[in-house]
Every structure is written in C-alpha cells, then in structure tokens.
Amino acid sequence: MMLSKRKFITLSSASILATACGGAGDVSGTAKTPSVSNGLPDGMDGVGTAHAIRSGKISAVEVIDGAIKRAEAVAPQLNAIVYSYFDEAREVAQQGTFANGPFAGVPTFIKDLSDWKGHVTQKGSVGYATAKPEEKDDRLPASWRAAGVISLGKSSSPEFGLLPSAQPLSSGATRNPWDLSRDAGGSSSGAAALVAARVVPFAHGSDGGGSIRAPAATCGVFGFKPSRERLPIRPGPPRDFSIVVEHAETITVRDSIALFQIAEGDFPLGRLGNLAPLNRPIRIGLMTDAPLGTPVDPDVVAEIEKTAKLCEDLGHTVEPFRYSLDYEQLSEDFTLLWGAGATRSVNAASEFTGKEPSEDILEPWTLDLTKHYSDHQADFPQAFERLQNFQHAYETDVNAFDLILSPAMATPAKTIGELAPTIEFDTLYDRVRKYVAFTTPNNVAGAASMSVPLGVSRSGLPIGSMFSGKYGDDELLFALALQLEEAKNWHNAVPPVNALSV
C-alpha cells in the first residue's frame, strides 16, 4: 500500500468534535489550518480546503486550477469523467460567483444521473447523447451549490445506475486507481475513483442497492448511505417507500458529516446532532456469510474479522449474527423492483429519442431487466407489498444489536469485463447478485449504512467494512466512523494512480 507524499490532515478528538458541532453554518471548527503546496491544501479534505480559502491561505482560483490539473492528469487512465466544464468552473472561481457557504470554493463532481443547472445529464446512456443542458439543479446538488461547492463536471455511472460497475457503452469502462485492470464498483463509479485518486475531496453519489458503498469499498474511500429520505432528493413530502438515497464519496468522515448537514431535511427523528467519536460500548453483530449462501472471498472474510477485533479493542462487544429473513424472496422481489425502475428509464429514453426501445439506444442489460419485469409483472403488486413491509422485519431481526458488521462487497474489485452490460442476462444477473449480496437489505429497509476503508487484500485491493444500523441510526454510525478513523487513520493510503504529485 503506497503512502501519500503529503500528510493528510490529522485530527484529534477535540478538533473533530469542534468541526462536527459547527454544523452547516461552520464546518471549519478548530481544525488544523492546512499548509499549501502546488495549489493543493494539505490533505485533500473539503472542510480543510474551505477553511484555507476563508482564512486567505489559498484562493478559490488556485484551488480550482489545482483540481483541474489533477483531473486532467489522471483522466486518461481512469476514464471517470464523462463531461467536464473546467472553463466555467475557473470563471466561477475568478468572479467569485459561488455561494458564500460552508464549502465555498471547494471543487467536486456530480454523478451523471443527477442534474446540475446549465449542463447535460447523459445518464450513462447512448440514448441521451443529444441531451440538452438542464434548467435547474436536482434537490441534493442544489444544497451543494448553496454551500458554495464548484462542480467541475459529471462523473461516470453505468446506464441509469443499473449495475455495480460503470462500463457503459456510451463512454467506456471506469477503471480502479488501485489496479487499472479492475473496475471501480458502482454505480457511483467515477465519484469514488476521482476521490480515491485525490482529484477532489468528495464527490456526489447515489445509492439504490449499494451504489455509494460498493464503489467506496472497491476504491478505498468512505461511503455513507443515509436513512430513507433523510437527505431529500425530490420536491414534496417524504415518500413512505423509496430505496434510493443520495450523498457522497469522501476521504474523511468530517466531510461526510458536513455534507450531510448542509443537505438534511425535516427528518421525523430529528436532525443530526453534535457528533464526537463514539465513547461508549455498543453491541455489534458480525456477519461474514453472504445472506444467499454465495461464496465470500477469503481475503474479505479475514479483513472483516480484523475489523471485528478492532471493534473489540475499542471496547465494543462483537457476536455472531445471521439474517433469519427469507433473503431469497427479498432478492427476487428486489429484482422485480429493479426491473420496474429499468422499465421507467427505458420508456423515458424511448420518448426522448422518439425511437422504439432497442440496442440502438439502450444496453442489453437494461433491456433484459425490462423484459424480466414484463415477464413477471403479475407478481409485482405482492412483491412491492413485501418490500414495503420489509423494514419492520429487518429491524426485528437485527434488534438485539446496535449495529451489524459485514463485508460491503463479497469480493474485492472485479476485473474489467466481468460485469459488462453486454453479458448474457442470466450470467450477469448471477454475478451481480453474488457481488452485492450484503448491501440491498439496507436500501429496502431504509436503514443507514456505511462502508469504511479499513481492509486490503493480499494483492493490494481495498476491502470495505460495512456497518449497518436501523432507520435513523445515522448519528450512531457517524460516531463509530469517527472513532474508527481516529483508531486507524486511512487517509495516508493512496492508490498507485493518484494526482498528488501534480
């Protein structure tokens, strides 16, 4: 594992607490003021970058110029940017037209499934190759713009976010900065790759079945999935049932917390409170066997067991756990919901292009998911009802524990091509279901979950430890993440393909 040439911002418990307690109005807290080298604040942390800009240690123009140079340096190798608007970002920084918020002047990328005003959203699809610039931001990106974030472009995603790997026919495979022969996970693929390579401190992502946690695990960054509707992503009141959430891929926990706070809506259980590293023992359930009984890579099991030992060393109780739920039924129901979403996307693409759904405008995997839904549509009402009722069953099942520890992914990053959208449906479906065996229950239950970059395989690939709670356990997860970050600083581990020397 390589070490960065610049030391990451090191935070004491007191400085993390002060930063987190600052909330959306002040994310600088008492954090150490970063030094500046080559236009890059020491550490690539968004909170620290914003503090450096506010304190005059560096200008927003220097920060944006540095990020653009880093993006250009690794872009040919990673293929993680599908659409850039560097000149506009420079102009925004030069003219100071970004909002004076807690992340004023900090660069990022928006996932190519969400809208950023004035720019196209191609959805990872050849069907949207002629898309026009959007007239407004989607809701969560709008909160980032209001906080002063400057977007440099759109990060890669599989078509409509329907695979845990970005290998879209529209733009080609996104590669993992730890090993360019491997994929970057998905569907927030480009976001995790760009953050891991230290191009930007954080990047926008979304998660409908593991799509923040999967790339976080495979790229070695921190990925937090909020509770259902805790960070609003659409206008109007919260929905009773939705599996999709939006948030971010980050290096530091404090960035994730601060981004969470600027986007948080009126949540029934209250807003995120003051946060410090967890200082009380909790009971953790350990699950290393996949719910479907599919194989889990031995390196993954070994690293999760190391994480369990770390938790015990921190004073927590760790005991074995296994779902008692009918996971096979859950998987079948989730696939139908997945297919229903694909069908909506197919219909929208057909309407946009004026063409019938076909491989002229859509990928085989997307069309096959739609066919699967069509073939089993009569079963969907009952499946949807079971999914709606799953939260209660899930919370009853895990109720003996505060949190559940499991692998985020069943294996380290896959080789490019293993999850390509052109593979025959049954083969690809089986591969995907085994790969994301651990993540989907949290989406259906609306439960908070996170992938923490604590492990590495014998071949040097990141392995994410996933901690999952119940609906509303976001605060507990963040507190544990702060404690784990303090105990095992992962910031200095950077992949071979990185932009730190730019």
- CA 384 – CA 370 distance, rounded (Å): 16
Beta strands in 52-106 (DSSP E): 81-84
Cβ atoms of 450 and 467 closer than 8 Å: yes
**Type of residue numbered 112:** D
**Residue 12 annotated as catalytic:** no
Number of Cβ within 10 Å of residue 210's Cβ equals 31
Which residues, other chains included, contact 251 with Cβ-Cβ below 8 Å and sequence gap of 6+?
Answer: 8, 44, 45, 195, 198, 201, 202, 221, 222, 491
3-class DSSP assignment, residue 265: coil
Distance CA 367, CA 111 (A): 22
283 secondary structure, DSSP code = E
From 28, 84, 111, 256, the catalytic residue: 111
Q: Which of 28, 114, 165, 187 is flagged as catalytic?
A: 187
Within 10 angstroms of residue 344's Cβ, the number of other Cβ atoms is 13
d(CA 215, CA 107): 20
DSSP state of 415: B
187 noted as active-site residue: yes
Interatomic CA distance for residues 337 and 318, integer angstroms: 34
Q: Could you tell me which of 83, 70, 82, 90 has the C-alpha nearest to residue 177? A: 70
* Amino acid identity for residue 208 in this structure: G
Q: Give yes or no: 37 in active site.
A: no
Residue 6 CA to residue 489 CA, distance in Å, equals 14
User: What 8-state DSSP symbol labels residue 24?
Assistant: G
Pair 119, 201: CB distance under 8 Å: no
Helix (H, G, I), strand (E, B) or coil at 481: helix
Looking at residue 414, the DSSP 8-state letter turns out to be: P
Give, as one character, the DSSP assignment of residue 226: P
Alpha-carbon span 147 to 423, nearest angstrom: 42
Residue of 151, 157, 211, 406 with catalytic role: 211
Q: Counting runs of H as helices and runs of E as strands, what totals does the chain give?
A: 16, 17
Tokens of 478: 């963040």
Tokens describing residue 80: 């993680």
- Residues marked as catalytic: 111, 187, 211
